Amino acid sequence: MRQIDLLKGPLMSQAKLRHSGSRGSARRHYYYYCGRPRRHAPTHLIERVIAVENLSPREPWETLEMLIEINREDEIIEVLDGLDSDEKALALSRVSSEDQARLLAILGPEESAHLVDTMSDAQATEIIEDLPAAQAAAIVDQLPSDEQADLLAGLDERDAQDILDQMEPEEASDARRLLEYRGDTAGGLMISEYLSYASSCTVGDVTHDIREHRVEYADYNIQYVYVTDDREHLVGVLRLRDLLLARDSENVKAVMIEDPHRVDAETPRDRLNRIFDEYAFLGIPVVDEKGKLVGVVERAAIAEAMSEEATRQFLSVSGLVGEDELRSMPLLQRSFRRLSWLSLNIVLNVVAASVIAIYQDTLTAVIALVVFLPIISDMSGCSGNQAVAVSIRELSLGLVKPYEFLRVFMKEASVGVINGLLLGVLLGAVAALWQGNIYLGLVVGAALLLNTMNAVVLGGLIPLALKRMNMDPALASGPILTTVTDMMGFFLVLSFATAMLAKLV
């Protein structure tokens, strides 16, 4: 057990650091005790220490707040080292924005960059945008190039420009170059930290340079060494194993793999994902339109990007537009982001409900229909959403093109007929047995059959149409499909019932 003097006084408060098992790793908990205060100790801090006397272990963010207040860098680092990335994110989200800024100032740029690198893009952006430009720039300077681009892209244009102006010129230049590419392309996902050597170099030249700059290169994720010609065009790749086993006097061209697999900077994320699924590459070199080597896109970056895209689509379907939402964001900002979706749904639901108003006399005469209206609209909506999910998935994987309407129509129509028929027969039988009226069963069953076919076909086609119009299928498909299936479901049930009203009453 180790004791830490929190206020550097012989009789001041101390914190005992206890290690206890947590998921197989050491976890640190701080206990605070109050001793006799030194005459010149800050009064507010003495009162705070007294207030927590003999308490059970504190939460990590409470410990951080205490250590931030008394400016104890070593102990802060020790607390953070004892937390995994999820716990760090939680602890940082619970301290105030002022304490976040003070924490990063205490840790310094390098340690702060390590901490920011473990956060989600949304949380990192939220913290960085509240910092002075000079402090933020010092931290961003220490981040990997792809993380720099992601972070700056998430900021307001003015804030990003202020930070770029304060960054080291070389780092700022690399960041600006990466920001020119869309975030879902190889250029936007690549890193600019890689090793490349001229084709005229020998193996000895390469290994000597790596050893000479081993401290700088230690931060690089070096899996391959690339070879370029005098115009910086990619001509080969060196595996580290081949490099170590070759004689120093050999030219790199003798041991390199010629004409390696490469991708253009504008290659989309989904295409990159398929390449990594097909090949066991750890990284793929990225070239510009002239064939010059400009970066490397790593397997881990693609896996992270695909995960983020899946999360974004889930949030879009849930009605959360824009960037990720965190509960630490301003209240009004969170409220407006949600209202933009909810207000649209009010309009769409009123449109769907208007169909019921038209047939209110039929509903009054056959009150049993009220029971089946939500069932038909819900079952059809579920069937349609399954088709939406398949279309969005195939679009993201490149398995279907936005113009292949006929192919998708035929595939989904066949499924809609089978499922609609089975579900219609089942629900119609329930209705007929419940009310003892076979005509009610026919009305309900036929409406569900036709609306299921309609929902499945539309669910397959709407994402394709939205994609062709450069709209987000994940965001807009849901409300469009729901409105149409509700309107059609209500219309089919009530129009059939009106036509057979004499048999139903």
Partners of 257 in the β-ladder: 237
Least confident of 17-21, 295-299, 326-330: 17-21
| Residue-level pLDDT at 24 | 34
Instruction: Output 287 or 16, whichever has higher pLDDT.
Output: 287
Angstrom distance (rounded) from CA 37 to CA 52: 15
Residue 454 has pLDDT above 90, yes or no: yes
The confidence score (pLDDT) of residue 450 equals: 94
Query: Is pLDDT of 46 > 90?
Result: no
CATH classification (class only), 196-317: alpha beta
pLDDT value at position 1?
A: 33
Greater model confidence, 303 or 342: 303
Write down the pLDDT at residue 341. 64
Say which DSSP state 191 is in: B
What is the tens place of the pLDDT at every residue in 392-424? Answer: 888 876 778 888 899 999 999 999 999 999 999
pLDDT of residue 84: 78
- Fold type of domain 331-504: Tetracycline Repressor; domain 2 (1.10.357)
Q: Quote the pLDDT of residue 17.
A: 35
| pLDDT for 58 | 67
Question: What kind and span of H or E run contains 84?
Answer: none
Neighbour-count burial for 41-55, b at 16+ CB within 10 Å, e otherwise = beeebbebbeebeee
- Predicted local confidence at residue 121, as pLDDT: 73
Residue appearing with tokens 């550097």: 8
Q: Which residue has the higher pLDDT, 83 or 476?
A: 83
Averaged pLDDT for residues 130-141: 86
Q: Which residue has the tokens 């849930």?
A: 318
Question: Which range, of 25-29, 290-294, 336-340, averages the lowest pLDDT?
Answer: 25-29
CA distance 331 to 111: 30
The reported pLDDT for the residue numbered 145 is: 79
Q: How far is CA 199 from the centre of its chain?
A: 40
> What pLDDT was estimated at residue 45?
44
**Angstrom distance (rounded) from CA 46 to CA 7:** 10
Question: Higher model confidence: residue 489 or residue 121?
Answer: 489
- pLDDT tens readout for residues 239-249: 888 888 889 99
Indicate the pLDDT class of residue 149, thresholds 50, 70 and 90.
confident
CA distance 34 to 6: 11
Amino acid 460: pLDDT: 92
Cα 452 to the center of its chain, rounded Å: 33
Please check the confidence at residue 329 and state whether its pLDDT lies above 70: no
In SS3 terms, 337-391 reads as: HHHHHHHHHHHHHHHHHHHHHHCHHHHHHCCCHHHHHHHHHHHHHHHHHHHHHHH
Work out the percent of the chain whose per-residue pLDDT is above 70. 81
SS3 state of residue 319: coil
Average pLDDT of the chain? 78
Bigger pLDDT: 178 or 319?
178
Tokens of 442: 């026919």
What pLDDT is stored for residue 31 in this prediction?
33
**Average pLDDT, stretch 222-238?**
87
User: pLDDT at residue 51 above 60?
Assistant: no
Q: Hey, which residues does 21 pair with through a beta bridge?
A: 26
Residue 387 Cα distances to 279, 358, 413, 444, angstroms: 30, 30, 10, 23
CA distances in angstroms from 42 to 62, 65, 87, listed in the order given: 19, 16, 30
Residue 10's contacts (CB-CB under 8 Å, 6 or more residues apart) are 38
- What are the Cα distances from residue 441, in Å, to 271, 367, 432, 498? 50, 14, 4, 14
Which of 63-72, 107-116, 326-335, 337-346 has the weakest average pLDDT? 326-335
CATH 1.10.357.20 in the chain is located at 331-504
The confidence score (pLDDT) of residue 328 equals 54
CB of 296 closer than 8 Å to CB of 194: yes
Sign, Cα dihedral of 90, 94, 95, 100: positive
Q: Would residue 197 be called left, alpha or beta, if left means φ above 0 and alpha means ψ between -120 and 50 degrees?
A: beta
Homologous superfamily (CATH) for 21-29+38-180: MgtE N-terminal domain-like (1.25.60.10)
Phi, psi of 154 (to 5 degrees): -85, -10
Comma-separated ranges of CATH 1.25.60.10 domains in the chain: 21-29+38-180
474 pLDDT more than 60: yes
Please answer whether residues 139 and 101 qualify as being in contact, where contact means their C-beta atoms are separated by less than 8 angstroms.
no
Q: What is the pLDDT of residue 11?
A: 29
DSSP bridge partners of 296: 191, 285
- Helices 121-128 and 85-94 pack at an angle, to 10 degrees, of 40
Q: Report the pLDDT value the prediction gives residue 50, as an integer from 0 to 100.
A: 38
Chain centre to alpha carbon of residue 402:
24
Q: What's the mean pLDDT in 64-70? A: 82
Is the pLDDT score of 195 beyond 50?
A: yes
Between 245 and 323, residue with greater pLDDT: 245
Per DSSP, 258 falls in state: E
CA dihedral 227, 230, 233, 238 (to 10 degrees): 0
Q: What is the model's pLDDT at position 7?
A: 37
- Split at pLDDT 50, 70, 90, the class of 23 is very low
Cβ atoms < 10 Å from Cβ of 149: 26
Strand, coil or helix: 14? strand
> Residue 202: its pLDDT value, please?
92
Percent of the chain with pLDDT over 90: 18
**Which of 421 and 231 is assigned the larger pLDDT?**
421
pTM: 0.53
Least confident range from 11-25, 280-294, 487-501: namely 11-25
Task: Give start-end residues of each CATH 3.10.580.10 domain in the chain.
Answer: 196-317
Is residue 322 scored above 80 in pLDDT? no
pLDDT at res. 376: 92
Beta bridge partners of 233: 292
**Residue found under tokens 């600019």:** 192
Q: Between 8 and 389, whose confidence is greater?
A: 389
What average pLDDT does the segment 457-482 reach? 82
Q: Does residue 93 carry a pLDDT above 90?
A: no
